[in-house]
């Protein structure tokens, strides 16, 4: 689960391929479907603003379309498209899993003949061991859905003391069975996550540094690694394209440069010289850079600009006396000038789309609706009417927000303050460093009134947004329920949707829960943010889907 109260951590989704010339002189339009293949050969450069990159899977929070998957495969993976929903596909497994007991037990069979980069066979035991490593205390911080879902997971500390997790059952070299604590319909999505990459136990002699040069199951292996500086990836001779539905593996080599200045990366991509013509990155483009990019089609044609992604909202602490009355929270929903917040983030084209619901585009079941139709700029009179009904006058609230990522959070908070002032609510702004802010809003004591926040789903299901933000179990103890919202009927509905093995039916259930929550108005949805990514002029098949909110790094090619 990905809290993004530190706002510019966004990098959202785009509809369209890169409009670059291919080697035959043709042009691929942005809004056509994704390419089914890319040219083989050339060197791809990856410019990273991270101080250091790692190919460790046990504590990774990266989605299955990220650069980690150049080196590692999972049981399942994701296929993305510019113009339709992301789908789950088999990866190491023959299919996306089977269950015969309503989703409490899941079975996967590996494809025959799969090999690691060292020539050894990939077995079900390697998958089991890779998962078990993620429970070790040294690897805390990764995506951890499986740690509470697998039987015995909450009491397991990894394989390094010789213990196994019995709920991961290896039937034979190719069959693995997972025994869960409860029915869970989204388990096939969970096994696409980094921790489910196979790791041969014999190669794991130095766990702390395994991620610098792991044994590869994907199309590339790490041939050179200088921590904080550079990694070089070259083809894994034992990877077979006909076994892999998720990767196109176009480049012969990938050079990943680490620890670069964010703005320098963007400027290098704008300039588009030398090897940077063959580059992609994880750099964040600031609103101030959009004008330069948009003014030059040779740059803007290389910009991926997403239709969906991170969800920005105002959380109202429903346990505070001034916010316990639903009419007050509904009034605040009517009062907010969402258009002004949209402008803070860069306007409709670059900042995002105004929203009034919880789930974002690309999540099955996501539906547009508006229970509090105040328009983009708010309905001041309706807000005042509701406050009068609630008998509220001269309400004073404190809005807490994080300060140490960018100035955007402060501007967003000021916009909320100004909106509420129009309806007679006095708001005091309180900026905190990110760590202090997160500790405050994830504490059950809830010593705050309002906070701005953001959220990105880890996999395309309503569960990945609604459960962490609104289930009673997520109040305090580091949970994401910043509204301190607790509704037994909603909790029961969440539990039923999580357990539903029919994902189409589950999507309908999540849609109903979305609206059920907003009837209680614990939040004000602001914006589904857009995120942009710039690529060099020789990069092919560079697009962002509606979900996930990142370009699919596994399918890009180099026009050489």
Q: Is residue 538 part of a domain?
A: no
Cα dihedral 176, 182, 186, 189, rounded to 10, equals: -40
Q: In which order are the strands placed within the sheet that holds 168-172? A: 105-109, 175-179, 168-172
- Other C-beta atoms lying within 10 Å of the C-beta of residue 428: 12
Q: Are residues 55 and 199 in the same domain?
A: yes
Q: Are residues 239 and 319 in the same domain?
A: no
Encoding tokens for residue 46? 């990856």
How confident is the prediction along the chain (560 residues), in pLDDT tens digits per residue?
Answer: 444 433 333 332 222 222 222 333 333 333 346 788 999 999 999 999 999 999 999 999 899 999 999 999 999 999 999 888 899 999 999 999 999 999 999 999 999 999 999 999 999 999 999 999 999 999 988 888 999 999 999 999 999 999 999 999 999 999 999 999 999 999 999 999 999 999 999 999 999 999 999 999 999 999 999 999 999 999 999 999 999 999 999 999 999 999 999 999 999 999 999 999 999 999 988 877 888 898 999 999 999 988 777 899 999 999 999 999 999 999 999 999 999 999 998 899 888 999 999 999 889 999 999 999 999 999 999 999 999 999 999 999 999 999 865 678 999 999 999 999 999 999 999 999 988 999 999 999 989 999 999 999 999 999 999 999 999 999 998 889 999 999 999 999 999 999 998 989 999 999 999 999 999 999 999 999 988 899 999 999 999 888 898 899 999 999 99
Cα–Cα distance, 323 to 304 (Å, whole number)? 40
At CA 401, angle to CA 399 and CA 404, rounded to 5? 155
CA 226 to chain centre: 27
Task: Look at residue 406 in the predicted model and tell me its pLDDT.
Answer: 66
Say how many residues make up the chain.
560
Encoding tokens for residue 377? 């700029």
Q: Are residues 324 and 462 in the same domain?
A: yes
Cα–Cα distance, 324 to 12 (Å, whole number)? 34
16: left (phi over 0), alpha (psi -120 to 50) or beta: left
Cα–Cα distance, 293 to 295 (Å, whole number)? 6
Task: Look at residue 53 in the predicted model and tell me its pLDDT.
Answer: 94
- The answer to whether 55 and 214 are in contact (CB under 8 A) is yes
Q: Are residues 239 and 341 in the same domain?
A: no
Closest CA to 198 of 186, 181, 210: 210
Q: Are residues 62 and 199 in the same domain?
A: yes
Cα–Cα distance, 132 to 170 (Å, whole number)? 13
Task: Look at residue 520 in the predicted model and tell me its pLDDT.
Answer: 98
Cα dihedral 136, 137, 142, 143, rounded to 10, equals: 70
Cα–Cα distance, 309 to 245 (Å, whole number)? 24
Residue corresponding to tokens 């040219």: 39
Could you tell me where the DSSP H helices lie in 400-502?
408-421, 434-441, 463-470, 488-499
Q: Is residue 486 part of a domain?
A: yes
Q: Are residues 193 and 106 in the same domain?
A: yes
Task: Look at residue 33 in the predicted model and tell me its pLDDT.
Answer: 61
Closest CA to 269 of 555, 554, 551: 551
Q: Tell me the torsion sign for CA atoms 119, 120, 123, 126.
A: negative
Q: Where a domain ends, among 198, 214, 244? A: 244
Q: Is residue 214 part of a domain?
A: yes
Task: Look at residue 308 in the predicted model and tell me its pLDDT.
Answer: 73
Buried b (16+ CB within 10 A) or exposed e, 256-268: bbbebebeebbeb
Residue 188 sits in a domain whose CATH number is 3.40.190.10
Encoding tokens for residue 263? 């703005």
* Total structural domains within the chain: 2
Q: First and final CA of the chain: distance in angstroms?
A: 38
Task: Look at residue 333 in the predicted model and tell me its pLDDT.
Answer: 98
Residue 404 sits in a domain whose CATH number is 3.10.105.10
Q: Is residue 13 part of a domain?
A: no
Q: Is residue 293 part of a domain?
A: no
**What is the residue-wise DSSP string for 272-332?**
T-GGGGGEEE-PPPPHHHHHHHHT-HHHHTTEEE-S--PEEEEEE-TTSGGG-SHHHHHHH
Q: Are residues 445 and 524 in the same domain?
A: yes
Q: Is residue 18 part of a domain?
A: no
- The answer to whether 436 and 164 are in contact (CB under 8 A) is no
Encoding tokens for residue 185? 């319909």
Q: Are residues 407 and 495 in the same domain?
A: yes
- The answer to whether 309 and 528 are in contact (CB under 8 A) is yes
Closest CA to 505 of 154, 103, 220: 103
Q: Is 107 helix (H, G, I), strand (E, B) or coil?
A: strand
Stated pTM of the model: 0.87
- The answer to whether 362 and 13 are in contact (CB under 8 A) is yes
Closest CA to 21 of 300, 287, 302, 223: 302
Cα–Cα distance, 471 to 355 (Å, whole number)? 21
DSSP class of 271: H
- Other C-beta atoms lying within 10 Å of the C-beta of residue 354: 18
Task: Look at residue 404 in the predicted model and tell me its pLDDT.
Answer: 67
Cα dihedral 135, 141, 143, 144, rounded to 10, equals: 40
Q: Are residues 327 and 415 in the same domain?
A: yes
Three-class secondary structure assignment of 501-549 = CCHHHHHHHHHHHHHHHHHHCCEEEEEEECCEEECCCCEECCCCCCCCC
- The answer to whether 402 and 432 are in contact (CB under 8 A) is yes
CA 486 to chain centre: 25
CA atoms within 13 A on the CB side of 298: 6
Q: Are residues 219 and 328 in the same domain?
A: no
Task: Look at residue 30 in the predicted model and tell me its pLDDT.
Answer: 37
Buried b (16+ CB within 10 A) or exposed e, 54-78: bbbbbbbebbbbbbbbbbbbbbbbb
Q: Are residues 363 and 214 in the same domain?
A: no
Residue corresponding to tokens 């007991």: 101
Q: Is residue 180 part of a domain?
A: yes
Range of the domain at 169: 50-226+235-244
Task: Look at residue 320 in the predicted model and tell me its pLDDT.
Answer: 97
Q: Is residue 273 part of a domain?
A: no
Q: Are residues 326 and 445 in the same domain?
A: yes
């Amino acid at each position: 689960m990905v809290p993004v109260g530190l706002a510019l951590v966004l990098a959202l989704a785009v509809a369209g391929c890169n409009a670059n010339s291919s080697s035959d002189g043709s042009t691929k339009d942005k809004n056509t479907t994704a390419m089914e293949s890319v040219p083989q050969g050339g060197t791809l450069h990856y410019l990273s603003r991270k101080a250091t990159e790692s190919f460790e899977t046990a504590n990774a929070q990266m989605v299955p379309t990220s650069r980690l998957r150049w080196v590692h495969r999972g049981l399942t993976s994701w296929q993305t498209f510019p113009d339709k929903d992301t789908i789950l596909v088999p990866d190491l497994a023959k299919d996306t899993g089977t269950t015969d007991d309503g989703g409490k037990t899941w079975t996967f069979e590996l494809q025959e003949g799969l090999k690691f980069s060292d020539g050894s066979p990939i077995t079900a035991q390697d998958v089991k061991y890779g998962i078990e490593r993620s429970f070790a205390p040294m690897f805390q911080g990764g995506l951890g859905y499986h740690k509470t879902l697998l039987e015995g997971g909450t009491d397991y500390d990894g394989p390094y003391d010789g213990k196994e997790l019995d709920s991961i059952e290896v039937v034979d070299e190719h069959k693995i069975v997972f025994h869960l604590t409860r029915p869970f319909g989204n388990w096939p999505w969970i096994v696409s996550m980094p921790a489910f990459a196979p790791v041969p136990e014999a190669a794991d002699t130095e766990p702390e540094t395994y991620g610098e040069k792991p044994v590869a199951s994907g199309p590339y292996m790490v041939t050179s690694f200088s921590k904080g500086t550079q990694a070089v990836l070259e083809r894994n001779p034992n990877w077979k394209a006909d076994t892999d539905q998720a990767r196109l593996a176009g480049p012969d080599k990938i050079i990943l440069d680490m620890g670069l200045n964010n703005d320098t990366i963007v400027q290098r991509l704008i300039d588009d010289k030398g090897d940077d013509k063959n580059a992609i990155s994880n750099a964040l483009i600031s609103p101030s850079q959009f004008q330069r990019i948009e003014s030059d089609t040779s740059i803007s044609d290389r910009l991926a600009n997403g239709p969906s992604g991170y969800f920005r909202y105002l959380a109202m602490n429903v346990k505070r006396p001034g916010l316990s009355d639903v009419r007050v929270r509904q009034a605040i929903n009517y009062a907010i000038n969402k258009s002004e917040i949209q402008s803070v983030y860069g306007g409709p084209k670059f900042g995002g789309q105004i929203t009034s619901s919880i789930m974002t585009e690309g999540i099955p079941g996501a539906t547009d609706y508006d229970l509090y139709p105040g328009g983009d700029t708010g309905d001041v009179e309706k807000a005042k009417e509701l406050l009068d009904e609630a008998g509220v006058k001269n309400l004073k609230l404190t809005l807490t927000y994080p300060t140490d990522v960018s100035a955007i959070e402060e501007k967003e908070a000021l916009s909320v303050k100004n909106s509420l002032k129009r309806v007679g609510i006095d708001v005091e702004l309180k900026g905190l460093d990110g760590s202090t802010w997160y500790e405050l809003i994830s504490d059950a004591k809830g010593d705050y009134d309002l906070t701005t926040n953001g959220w990105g789903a880890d996999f395309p299901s309503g569960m990945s947004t609604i459960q962490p933000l609104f289930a009673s179990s997520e109040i305090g103890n580091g949970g994401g329920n910043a509204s301190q919202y607790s509704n037994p009927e909603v909790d029961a509905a969440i539990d039923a949707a999580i357990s539903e093995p029919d994902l189409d039916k589950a999507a309908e259930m999540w849609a109903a829960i979305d609206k059920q929550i907003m009837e209680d108005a614990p939040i004000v949805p602001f914006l589904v943010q857009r995120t942009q990514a710039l690529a060099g002029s020789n990069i092919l098949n560079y697009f962002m889907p509606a979900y996930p909110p990142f370009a699919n790094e596994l399918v890009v090619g180099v026009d050489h």
